[in-house]
Amino acid sequence: MIRQGTTSLIDTCVWMPTSLEEAWDLKKKYGENAAFIAGGTLMQTHWAKGLNCPSHLISLDHMNEMKGWGEELVNGQTYTRLGAGITLDFCRQNKNLFHPLLVEAAKNIAAPAVRNRGTIGGNIANGFGDMIPALLAMDAFLTLYDGNSTHSLPLSDYIKTNNQSLIISVLVPEDQTKRFFYKKLCHREAFTPSVITVAGSFNLNEKRKLTAVRLALSGGSTHPQRLYESEQLLEGSTLTNNHLQKVYQVINEEFIPSTDPFSTATYKRLVASNWVVSEIARLAT
Amino acid sequence: MPIQTSSLDKKKKIRPDGPGKVTGELKYLTDLSFPGMLYGKILRSTEPHAEIQSISTELAKQLPGVRAIVTYEDVPGLNGFGLIFPDQPVLCEDRVRYVGDAIAAVAADTIEIADEALQLIQVVYKKLPVIIEPEKALHPNAPKLHPDGNLLHRAHYSKGDVEKGFELCTHIVEGTYELPRQMHAYMETEGGVIVPEVDGNLTVYVGTQHGFKDRYQLARILNMNESDIRIVSSPMGGSFGGKDELNVQPYGALLALATNCPVKIHNTRRESVRAGLKRHPMKITMKTGVDDTGNIISHKVKIVADTGAYATLGPAVLDFAVEHAPGPYIIPNIEIEGVSVFTNNGVAGEFRGFGGNQVTFALEGQMDRLAERLQMDPIEFREKNLRQVNSPGPLGQKVAPTSGAKDVLEAIKQKLTNITNENDSLEKWKVTGTGVAISIHGGGLGAGRMDPAGGRLSFTSEGKIEVAFGFEECGQGLLAVIETLIMEEFHCMEDDIHIVIGDTDSVPVSGSSTASRATSMVWNSIQRMKDTFRSKILERATKVTGLPVEDLCMGPNGIWFKDDNLCITFVELAEKTLHEPFIKVETSFDFPTSPDAVVDGSHFLYAFSSVLAKVEVDLLTGKIKVLTLDQAIAAGPVVSLLGYQGQIEGGGIMALGYSLMEEAKMENGHYVNDNFDTYLIPTIQDVPFVMNVEAIEKLQDGDIYGPRGVGEIGTIAVAPAIVKAIHDATGCWISKLPVSREVLLEHLSSRGEKRWI
């Protein structure tokens, strides 16, 4: 049992592998007694709550593959590659390097001390991070290492399974034409988990019809979700109040948030519908 | 008698403990270490209500590094504590009544070992039904939490005939207001070091708001003489009422005596949440009626307070709520009934505002609803019913004449004129609104209660003016108050002063650092001592210098001749008169009370506040942002400008948290939010950019009581002002804190479909 400042935390081994293979082997060797760790900002809060700290922590700090950023051309499409080890603060501070949607998402996470340590990879891997809806709205891919090989997977697929692969980098299509929004609601203005986070993007063609609509939602206790049905309903449509009201209802039905001690699912659905519809209305008119 | 104020700059000076706190150099009592010091941990109940069938410490005792384990069998004196009556077991023997109840305490070489030892102590419980609702606790068939049942205290006041009064009313508003359990959330959790001295005495370095009271309670538990216990109780990293009652002291003391080693106990945040006091959750029903011209005719109030498992100051908090239920208004027919009820929900006790916050939320809510019913401007409606300079107190008692109520309302009215001219939100889905509320708040412990005050001035052999008070610095700025007042009175410098507080071995009895009383009592003490002290010093200076006493005065660094010439420094004066008896002036007196109060605890001196809140409500989420929080305060002259401003702004922010986000939720007797990751207090991002504090310093001619304290008043009227602002913005009346966005959004959604484009 780990509590704040107890001996077992001091007894924990921290491994500093320098290659993916080495990191993977360590995890394999120690199994359940080991965990990968990047910034550790979330894991630390778990230990403070009395959860076990694994006896082996495998740091990803020295993993070159997870560092840096750059442009990559895949199948004719240009992507921005973000190493999984990029800190949230680095993302927040570099408007010229990264898409405004990512910068906006990073800006709204936790507090400076957390953003200084917390990484994009960790934010995705923990399953509830607020970068996820932003990345889903942008059709991001992940580059993963599964112990045998490196491969890429759309983030929208990654979130559907309990994927245990290491996230090496995130690939975000470079697309300056799409309209997008990102909104996060918390119980106070800063340094607290999200009640609900919504992100979306779409193109508006010359006939003022919506195309390539992406809607993604998540929350501190709500798994990230794409609203495929609602996207479908918006795809190719021109906006009218009546149509938006229909979209509003579909979102309310499609989105499945959790109820936690501080907010009900009903409330979260209401906010989600309000936000998505109002943002689309704002951006499309 | 107006205070002799110096220039504003002097009042704006940096607090003496400021640099140490900002740089981290200052050592709090929880920072102390002693050679051979052990670490203590307290085993608390896992059950909110249970019989203890057995406690086994055998395994834990065998753990290497464990030095002592104490249980109820090891309490030499009274196994109980409590500021009013000692109904809370120090260590439980056969029953636990909340999840903070202590069962055993361990001293060990390290915190980790102590922690591990706690895991090895085996307690067998037999669960009992958990009482979580005061209403159910009062049911005749409810299990009794204490021998006398579940009613801790009943308080009552009535005048006139409310029922007849209601018959004369054209409008009657009845509402029930629900107030949450708020956490003090001090930065420094409870803790310190307890040191057994070689002579068998005990020194307790643990923060508290009344050192002598801790000494009294500890002596009773330990079966020791009070004079053999020394309490060092200052400085503290915040208290807000939460550390007035004993917390870790008895356990540290028992362990220190058992091991003959210094023992440090410092609660983690989770331990603090679990064991610590909270603000009383209350359910307040008010029925208030007016005639067609807006005169309040009748006011009927029922207060139900959830006091949790033990008494502590629960009865006094209820008395205070009852007293303040009529507020600053003149009402001919009043009936107030309050009950404070035992449950298995934690322990509620003293908290900044002391029951006033809850009852003012309800009362001001009534005022705004009545004004709406009357279609009258809410300020005009308040003015119409407001107390006058010579009006009696809320319960009809004689009080010090004051125009405070009128003054604060007038001041906020001016601010309101400025604010309504501002541009409102341009964002489509946001609306703004403003609200005003006022409050009255009594200072001191009140009628029928021991409330001694006093202080001491001496001239030391080092040539310092030593000022001693039995108060504590808990962050409120007491040191700055003392320093400012002494500098003002004797025109000396910071360096000339030596302040002694928070140490029962070297301070006089001043009473508690609670109830907005310390500043007021420091000022009053100095008024009583200053002339004697000054003339003694000057006489001595005359003796040494041979200069005529009438030409001498006290000034920077020493005694000045005819105001322009330093003729002897304080240090020289001390050096040259070492053989003379010490100059020492003491005073002791009681906090002024009403001569004809009929209800225990009712007050004589009051402060007043008015609050103007402007909020922005997000129509898509129900989220509320407070844009402006202005307060006008009538509490007599300002002593320390930054301290005053800090109290009002800080109190305002604490109340903003109370209004919008703070709630220590309990589910079946267990805390839901046990840390600051889910118990949310405002961060700087939640604080309005603009917060104006206006101090109305005016006192009535002949008022001899000087500055009233402002430790609590800034927290009182904030919630009703915010809630009125929300109503102004949305038309939705909120009766429950913290304001639920869900309730608000539901209300907003019920208005039908939105026009999205």
Task: Name the nearest CA neighbour of B644 among B516, B498, B529, B556.
Answer: B516
Pairing of strands B122-127, B95-96: unpaired
From B32's Cα to the closest Cα of chain A, the distance in A is: 18
Pairing of strands A179-186, A141-145: unpaired
Cβ B281 vs Cβ B217: under 8 Å: no
Supply the DSSP string of A52-115, one letter for each residue: PPPSEEEE-TT-GGGS-EEEEEETTEEEEEEETT-BHHHHHH-TTTS-HHHHHHHHTSS-HHHH
Q: Which of A4, A188, A239 sits opposite B686 (nearest CB)?
A: A188
- Taking only the tens place, the pLDDT of each residue in B187-216 is 999 999 999 999 999 999 999 999 999 999
Tokens of B58: 């055998």
Asked if residue B577 has pLDDT above 80, the reply is yes
Cβ within 8 Å, pair B757-A3? no
Cβ within 8 Å, pair B756-A49? no
| C-alpha span between A179 and A284 (Å, rounded) | 8
Predicted ipTM of the assembly: 0.94
Tokens of A197: 């986070």
From A108's Cα to the closest Cα of chain B, the distance in A is: 12
Residue B619: CB partners within 8 Å, gap ≥ 6?
B429, B430, B431, B730, B748
Asked if residue A7 has pLDDT above 90, the reply is no
- Taking only the tens place, the pLDDT of each residue in B609-620 is 999 999 999 999
Give mean pLDDT, residues B132-139: 98
Task: Name the nearest CA neighbour of A129 among A229, A221, A259.
Answer: A221
Asked if residue A3 has pLDDT above 60, the reply is no
Tokens of A273: 């519908």
Tokens of B491: 């025109």
Provide the β-strand partners of residue B500.
B468
Chain center to CA of B516? 8
| C-alpha span between A90 and A99 (Å, rounded) | 13
Strands (E), A130-236: 141-145, 150-154, 166-173, 179-186, 194-204, 210-219, 222-226
* List of domains in chain B: 32-128+187-238+243-275 (3.90.1170.50), 356-444+603-750 (3.30.365.10), 452-590 (3.30.365.10)
Cα angle value B743/B746/B750 (rounded, 5°)? 145
| C-alpha span between B183 and B658 (Å, rounded) | 9
Element (H, E) at B412: helix B404-420
- Taking only the tens place, the pLDDT of each residue in B211-239 is 999 999 999 999 999 999 999 999 999 99
Tokens of B540: 């001595």
Q: Which of A114, A185, A263, A274 to mutate to test the interface with B (most CBs of B within 10 A)?
A: A274
> What pLDDT shows up at residue A2?
36
- Taking only the tens place, the pLDDT of each residue in A79-107 is 999 999 999 999 999 999 999 999 999 99
Which CATH code of 3.30.390.50, 3.40.50.720, 3.40.50.11540, 3.40.50.2300 fits the domain covering A179-283? 3.30.390.50
Please report the residues numbered 12 through 51 in chain B whose beta carbons come closer than 8 angstroms to any beta carbon of chain A. Answer: none
> What pLDDT shows up at residue B5?
42
Q: Which of A189, A234, A246, A276 to mutate to test the interface with B (most CBs of B within 10 A)?
A: A189
Cα angle value B161/B164/B166 (rounded, 5°)? 105
Cβ B39 vs Cβ B114: under 8 Å: yes
From A44's Cα to the closest Cα of chain B, the distance in A is: 12
CB atoms within 10 A of CB A223: 15
Please, where in chain A does CATH 3.30.390.50 lie? 179-283
| C-alpha span between B153 and B66 (Å, rounded) | 42
- Taking only the tens place, the pLDDT of each residue in A247-274 is 999 999 999 999 999 999 999 999 999 9
Q: How many residues does chain B have?
A: 757
> What pLDDT shows up at residue A267?
97
Cβ within 8 Å, pair B112-A244? no
- Helix, strand or coil for residue B315? helix
- Please report, as a single letter, which amino acid is at residue B3: I
Asked if residue B553 has pLDDT above 80, the reply is yes
Q: Which residue has the tokens 């007016």?
A: B290
- Taking only the tens place, the pLDDT of each residue in B377-430 is 999 999 999 999 999 999 999 999 999 999 999 999 999 987 764 556 678 999
CB contacts < 8 Å between A and B, how many? 82
> What pLDDT shows up at residue A50?
80
What b/e string do you get for B208-222 counting C-beta neighbours within 10 Å, with b at 16 or more? bbbbbbbbebbbbbb
Percent of residues, chain A, with pLDDT higher than 70: 96
Cβ within 8 Å, pair B112-A6? yes
Helices (H) and strands (E) in chain A, counts: 12, 12
| CATH class of residue range A2-62 | alpha beta
- Taking only the tens place, the pLDDT of each residue in A116-172 is 999 999 999 999 999 999 999 999 999 999 999 999 999 999 999 999 999 999 999
- Taking only the tens place, the pLDDT of each residue in B71-116 is 999 999 999 999 999 999 999 999 999 999 999 999 999 999 999 9
- Burial zone of B248 (CB within 10 Å; 0-12 exposed, 13-18 middle, 19+ buried): buried
Cβ within 8 Å, pair B745-A49? no
| C-alpha span between A122 and A166 (Å, rounded) | 10
Q: pLDDT-based confidence at B752, cuts 50/70/90?
A: confident
Give mean pLDDT, residues B647-669: 98
Cβ A208 vs Cβ A237: under 8 Å: no
Torsion angle defined by CA atoms of residues B638, B642, B644 and B647, in that order, rounded to the nearest 10 degrees: 180
Q: Which of A190, A239, A263 sits opposite B757 (nearest CB)?
A: A239
| C-alpha span between B689 and B614 (Å, rounded) | 11
What mean pLDDT, rounded, does chain B reach?
96
> What pLDDT shows up at residue A16?
97
User: Does residue B661 or residue B563 have the better pLDDT?
Assistant: B661
Residue B680: CB partners within 8 Å, gap ≥ 6?
A187, A188, A192, B657, B661, B662
Give mean pLDDT, residues B680-704: 96
From B664's Cα to the closest Cα of chain A, the distance in A is: 11
Q: Name the maximum alpha-carbon separation found in chain A.
A: 66
Which CATH code of 3.30.465.10, 3.40.50.740, 3.40.50.700, 3.30.710.10 fits the domain covering A65-173? 3.30.465.10
- Taking only the tens place, the pLDDT of each residue in B259-277 is 999 999 999 999 999 999 9
CB atoms within 10 A of CB B546: 8
- Taking only the tens place, the pLDDT of each residue in B16-53 is 999 999 999 999 999 999 999 999 999 999 999 999 99
Element (H, E) at B666: strand B666-667
Tokens of B325: 């239920």
Give mean pLDDT, residues B589-602: 94
Answer whether B539 touches A (CB < 8 Å).
Answer: no
| C-alpha span between B536 and B715 (Å, rounded) | 43
Q: pLDDT-based confidence at B690, cuts 50/70/90?
A: confident
> What pLDDT shows up at residue B6?
47
Rg over alpha carbons for chain B, rounded to the nearest Å, is: 27
Q: pLDDT-based confidence at B4, cuts 50/70/90?
A: very low
> What pLDDT shows up at residue B524?
98
Percent of residues, chain B, with pLDDT higher than 70: 98
Cβ B560 vs Cβ B552: under 8 Å: yes
Residue B654: CB partners within 8 Å, gap ≥ 6?
B240, B352, B681, B715
From B627's Cα to the closest Cα of chain A, the distance in A is: 13
Q: Which of B116, B745, B756 sits opposite A278 (nearest CB)?
A: B756
Which residues of B fall within a CB distance of 8 Å from A234? none
Please, where in chain A does CATH 3.30.43.10 lie? 2-62
| C-alpha span between B250 and A123 (Å, rounded) | 45
| C-alpha span between A38 and A148 (Å, rounded) | 21
Percent of residues, chain B, with pLDDT higher than 90: 94
Cβ within 8 Å, pair A240-B755? no
Report the chain B residue with the minimal C-alpha distance to residue A6: B112
Cα angle value A187/A193/A198 (rounded, 5°)? 85
Asked if residue B3 has pLDDT above 70, the reply is no
Q: Which of A10, A196, A270 to mutate to test the interface with B (most CBs of B within 10 A)?
A: A270
